[in-house]
């Protein structure tokens, strides 16, 4: 991924897109606490990070949040894996993280920046996201159950 590294700071918190700053073990621990990534492997996370624009949230040396955008850096992005450590929630970090994603210079001018959520609609609505076109059909392809 050839995105340019960017940093923002607010008080004791820093958001950075420098991949070499990410503590992948901590990111994996944060993601495993979610309903969508509880079975994520370290290798899958490593590949996802290498091929996405990633946002780490730091308080001192501690990783307290993460988000990534799967994108072609030209027309489309998919915001995913947005997570803030449970003990840090309710302080506006998730909203600020979303604002930083939207401000990243390499993520401008897209036809669409999409996301899926089942429990954070209000957070994303405040950032300008709206429910997608009702006439579109969400489709997916999953590997067969016995593909192990």
Q: Is residue 140 part of a domain?
A: no
Is residue 30 scored above 70 in pLDDT? Answer: yes
For residues 32-45, average pLDDT: 91
Whether 132 maps to a domain, the answer reads no
- Does a structural domain hold residue 110? yes
- The residue range of the domain holding 88 is 7-126
Spatial contact of 63 and 56, defined as CB atoms under 8 Å apart: yes
Q: Is residue 136 part of a domain?
A: no
**36 occurs within a structural domain:** yes
- Does residue 2 fall inside a structural domain? no
Which residues, in sequence order, are CB contacts of 107 under 8 Å at separation 6+? 53, 69, 71, 73, 77, 101, 113
Q: What is the CATH number of the domain that holds 64?
A: 3.40.630.30
Calculate mean pLDDT across residues 16-43.
93
pLDDT per position as a tens digit, 93-104: 999 999 999 999
Kindly report, residue by residue over 65-74, the tens digit of the pLDDT.
Answer: 999 999 999 9
Res 115 pLDDT > 70? yes
Number of domains in the chain: 1
Residue 102 buriedness (CB in 10 A; 0-12 / 13-18 / 19+)? middle
Token reading at 26: 């901590």
Rg (CA), the chain: 15
Q: Inform me whether the pLDDT recorded for 135 exceeds 70.
A: no
Percent of the chain with pLDDT over 70: 94
| pLDDT at residue 137, as a whole number | 66
């Amino acid at each position: 991924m050839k995105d340019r590294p960017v940093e923002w700071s607010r008080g004791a918190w820093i958001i950075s897109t420098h991949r070499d700053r990410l503590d992948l073990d901590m990111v994996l621990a944060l993601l495993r606490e979610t309903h969508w990534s509880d079975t994520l492997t370290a290798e899958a996370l490593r590949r996802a990070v290498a091929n996405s624009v990633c946002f780490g949230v730091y308080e001192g040396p501690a990783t307290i949040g993460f988000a990534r955008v799967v994108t072609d850096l030209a027309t489309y992005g998919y915001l995913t894996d947005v997570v803030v450590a449970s003990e840090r929630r309710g302080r506006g970090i998730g909203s600020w993280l979303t604002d930083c994603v939207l401000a990243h210079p390499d993520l401008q001018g897209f036809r669409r920046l999409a996301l899926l959520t089942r429990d954070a609609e209000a957070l994303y609505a405040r950032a300008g996201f709206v429910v997608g076109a009702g006439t579109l059909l969400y489709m997916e392809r999953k590997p067969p159950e016995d593909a192990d």
